[in-house]
Structure 1
Amino acid sequence: MIQYSNQTRILTAIDCIIFGFDGSDYKLLLIQRGFAPEKEKWSLMGGFLQSTESLDQAANRILKKLTGLEDVYMEQMHTFSRPDRDPVERTIAVAYVALIDIHKYEQQISDKFHAHWFSMNELPHLIFDHEEMVEMAKSRLRYKAALHPILFELLPKKFTLPHLQAMYESLYETKIDKRNFTRKVLSTNMLIKEKDKDKTSSKKGAFYYSIDESKYKNQFQTVLNFIPRNEIPTANE
């Protein structure tokens, strides 16, 4: 078998960053690492690329093995290659990211590696450079959510505009002007106004809306700007 001579063999790791939304809060899925170093410390879902698989295949295998989750759409985000990022061997890590509805997948979660959802405001210390990965993933998610209606995919079949606004405010950790937000959302023509109201918060109540699926698909590549421009991170952050 022909091999490249005088070349150093370097391990390739895969790390899966899984954000979830539970209806009111954004969370991050973590596990307790099962081997040294940093055994039992909190970690992203990680493992090593095998010689017979692609990066995408490895990401799906690792996520299922460590959490039980499958059929999760993950996007490759970035490669982390600092020489000292892993104290054992030279390892580059390819990070994948996903945003899911927690309730949709909660029956799949395995407790073998103590997979646990943490609120984004209460994250524990993470191993290696995993905190750097999470911060980059948060910025990428915020950037993408500002340009495309990806958060709409986390909504129930019927929802209110205050509910939708709260989702954006929670993701960007900011307050958004209600009147401007409502005007911008309705101007997309992606929503269908229902006849009934949600009156759990007030006597007046708020009308329910549902998504017009055909218009949603047409609008997906459209710049939405539901949030103030100064709150939108750049693509490189």
Structure 2
Amino acid sequence: MNESEFLAGYDPRAFQPMAVTADVVALTIRDGRLHVLLVRRGEPPYRGAWALPGGFVRDDDLQEAAARELAEETNLFPHDLDRVHLEQLGTYGKPGRDPRMRVVTVAYLAFAPWLPDPKAGSDADAALWTPLTATRELAFDHAKILDDGLERARSKLEYTPLATSFVGEEFTISELRAVYEVVWGEPLHAGNFHRKVLSVPGFVESTGMTTERGGPRGGPRARLYRKGDAKRLHPALLRPSREDEIRN
């Protein structure tokens, strides 16, 4: 049976129009604070409203579409994308989420220690890095997608050594703790964090060296560490709030 016989009796007008988009929750740390990339829409619907970067999927696969949208808004070159942690976050297809037609979006999380200053893409008239503490009201269901992306990023730090990408090749435990505090959005007890990090096999390894100077109060010089070979953290470094949930 040929293709025309398979399609016999098929009338595309009988089906609701539908499209697929790829949206990106892009997170980075700037000036000691967690930032998200937002764009101001230059076209309807929601013209003038802030939203996550994204767009319709063209003749590329989903992850390629997400990488393309991220590159368009951040001046990233293809080789720069190798430094970005990019993973699929979830699928959002609630009817009415887009007033144009039935639109299903596949959202991605992009998380990197450094991303350049953004530039507005073809369908946006502005783009900026916004601190998570100052996010604006977002178009579509992007507030929900952003919340999910933030939770995913926080969870990644619990179960993977991703935080070591946000410090230098050699770092102190205090510098690593600062990354966790920024992403988790809560202070951590220095001694407890230090103990937990060193108790996870393969998370970090000592360089045998120390910092050139002591602490700000004249304390001893801090030991320097480098990233270990662990791909997953076991036991996990749970957030204090998550530890309380499990305990209760």
TM-score for the superposition, normalised by structure 2: 0.80
Q: Which residue of 2 aligns with 1:41?
A: 49
> How many Å separate the matches in 1 of 2:140 and 2:54?
12
Structure 1 residue 147: deviation in Å? 0.8
Cα contact 2:75–2:116 (8 A) shared by 1: no
Specify every segment of 5 or more residues in structure 2 that has no aligned partner in the other structure, as ranges. none
Partner of 1:69: 76
CA positional deviation for 1:140: 1.4
Whether contact under 8 Å (1:139, 1:233) holds in the other structure is: no
Q: Greater shift after overlay, 79-88 or 154-163?
A: 154-163
1:116: Cα distance to partner?
0.9
Q: From the superposition, tell whether residues 111 and 13 of structure 1 become closer, same or farther in structure 2 (CA, over 3 Å).
A: closer
Please give the alpha-carbon distance, in whole angstroms, between the structure 2 residues aligned to 1:114 and 1:48.
19
* TM-score normalised over the length of structure 1: 0.84
CA distance in 2, matches of 1:125, 1:211: 40
**In structure 1, what is the Cα distance between the partners aligned to 2:215 and 2:99?**
53
Structure 1 stretches lacking a partner, 5+ long: none
1:118 match: secondary structure: strand
Is the 1:146–1:224 contact (alpha carbons within 8 Å) kept by the matching residues of 2? Answer: no
Q: Which of 169, 173, 185 does residue 185 from structure 2 map onto?
A: 173
The Cα offsets for residues 157-198 of structure 1, whole Å up to 9 and x where unpaired, read as 233222211221222222322222111212335232423245
Match of 2:219 in 1: 204
Tell me, in whole angstroms, the C-alpha distance in 2 between the residues paired with 1:66 and 1:227. Answer: 33
The DSSP-based 3-state class of the residue aligned with 1:65 is helix
1:15 aligned to 19, 23, 45, which one? 23
Counterpart for residue 221 of structure 1:
232
1:66-145 aligned within 5 A = 66-70=73-77, 71=81, 72-102=84-114, 105-106=115-116, 109-111=118-120, 113-145=125-157
Q: State the percentage of identical aligned residues.
A: 24
d(CA) in 2 for partners of 1:130 and 1:106? 22
Amino acid at match of 1:63: L
- Relative to 1, partners in 2 of residues 1:232 and 1:34: Cα closer, same or farther, differing over 3 Å? farther
Which has the bigger relative contact order, CA under 8 A and spacing at least 6? 1
Distance 1:204 1:89, change over 3 A: same
For 2:97 and 2:172, locate their aligned partners in 1 and report how far apart those are by CA, in whole Å: 45
Distance 1:233 1:149 in 2: 22
Bigger Cα displacement from structure 2, 10-19 vs 223-232: 223-232
Higher Cα radius of gyration: 2
Residue 198 to residue 100, structure 1, CA distance change in 2 (3 Å): farther
C-alpha contact (below 8 Å) 1:198/1:208 kept by paired residues = no
| CA deviation profile, 1:69-128 (whole Å, cap 9, x unmatched) | 2413411111100001011211111101111113xx326x33554321111111111111
State whether residues 142 and 233 of structure 1, in contact with CA within 8 Å, keep that contact through their aligned partners in structure 2.
no
- In 2, Cα distance between the equivalents of 1:151 and 1:69? 21
The number of equivalent residue pairs is: 226
Q: Is the 8 A contact 2:215 2:222 kept in 1?
A: no
Matched residues in 2 for 1:130 and 1:98: separation?
A: 15
* Alignment match, 2:205: 191
- The residue type equivalent to 2:194 in the other structure is T
2:41 and 2:47 in contact (8 A); partners too: yes
Counterpart of 2:173 in structure 1 is: 161
Equivalent residues of 2:49, 2:138 under 8 A apart: yes
Query: How far has the Cα of 1:32 moved from its partner?
Result: 1.1
